[in-house]
Amino acid sequence: MMKVHFYLWGGTILDQIRIVGDIWSGKFQPTLTGNRIVDTALLNQFKTRLMDWLSTNRIEVEVNIDHHFSMQHTDTNPTLYLIDSQIIADVGDHTLQPINYLPIKHQSLLHANPAELFQALINYFKAAQQEQS
């Protein structure tokens, strides 16, 4: 299978996707359900379904869950963050401007269903690719 490269804004090739649905450290520690075991299971199931879709679409990229997300510790490598929309609302969209991210509906995480995100990912990759042209 041929590897397909996808670009982030700024022209770098996407290296990884990090899912932010709950945060275990720092002053701000939002959760999905309030139960760490349930939250971890939901995020793992969301990740697995997302990885299946990426694989089906020949997108080879590392996918991780980021339980310790912090703007002070964001990766310097080409990362696309998928962040719970409730976290975005709490921290403010302007705070996240330095990173590449897409919002995830809170309900999608609670149902471990990334399907609503697929079109947003396609649109994001297309727009970043066009920037390369």
Task: For 99-115, write each residue's pLDDT tens digit.
Answer: 889 999 999 999 999 99
Contact 3, 31 (CB under 8 A): no
CATH number at residue 59: 3.40.50
Q: Which domain holds residue 121?
A: 16-125
Residue 132: inside a domain: no
pLDDT computed for residue 26 by the predictor: 85
Residue 31: inside a domain: yes
Sign of the four-CA dihedral 113, 15, 102, 24: positive
Residue 109: inside a domain: yes
Can you tell me whether residue 105 is helix, strand or coil? coil
Tell me the whole-structure pTM to 2 decimals: 0.88
DSSP 59: B
Residue 81: inside a domain: yes
Residue 115 has a CB neighbour count (10 Å cut-off) of 11
pLDDT digits (tens, 9 = 90+) for 54-112: 989 888 889 999 999 887 766 556 788 999 999 999 988 888 878 889 999 999 999 99
Sheet containing 79-84: give its strands across.
62-65, 16-20, 79-84, 100-104
State the angle between helix axes of 115-132 and 36-56 in degrees (0 to 180), rounded to the nearest 10: 50
Residue 10: inside a domain: no
Contact 46, 108 (CB under 8 A): yes
Residue 11: inside a domain: no
Residue 29: inside a domain: yes
